[in-house]
Amino acid sequence: MIELNTRKEVEVIDVTFYVEKAIEESSIEQGICLIYTLHTTTGIVVNEAEPGLIRDMTSLVASLAPKGAGYLHDRFGGNAHAHLQAMLLGNSAVIPVEGKRLILGTWQKILFVELDGPRKRWVCVKLIEE
């Protein structure tokens, strides 16, 4: 389990290093790795961690599900936009592991996306041996 303390309302954290560490500390050489967020207002995506692209991504989801657009769930804390944005991004990634390493392309990083911070967050990393 990875514990994250987000510091902003919307924040993207590259968690690739933490996942690699979990694989190193395990006894698994090859198989698959599940990265799964335990929250309903966060996302997990695999993509490039270039700062401009990260801002483009958060702008896109904000435009698709803008804050305060008359959602029914806003009666319970006003965070419906964050739930809907999280649904658009997805809440997990599955990545192959070979020779104790994640199979990632040159620009692929595992990104945790906070959409209703700042909060304490948990990301589950589960390894399954082949």
Residues near Zn ion (CB under 5 A): 79
Q: Would you give the DSSP letter of residue 67?
A: T
Q: Which position's Cβ is nearest Zn ion?
A: 79
To Zn ion, the closest distance from the beta carbon of 92 in angstroms equals 20
SS3 122: strand
Q: Is the Cβ of residue 78 or residue 96 nearer to Zn ion in the bound state? A: 78
Residues 126, 33 contacting (CB under 8 angstroms): yes
Strand order in the sheet with 109-114: 11-14, 109-114, 42-47
Quick check: helix, strand or coil at residue 93? strand
**Cβ at position 113, least distance to Zn ion in Å:** 16
By C-beta, is 11 or 116 nearer to Zn ion? Answer: 116
Among residues 10 and 125, whose Cβ is nearest to Zn ion? 10
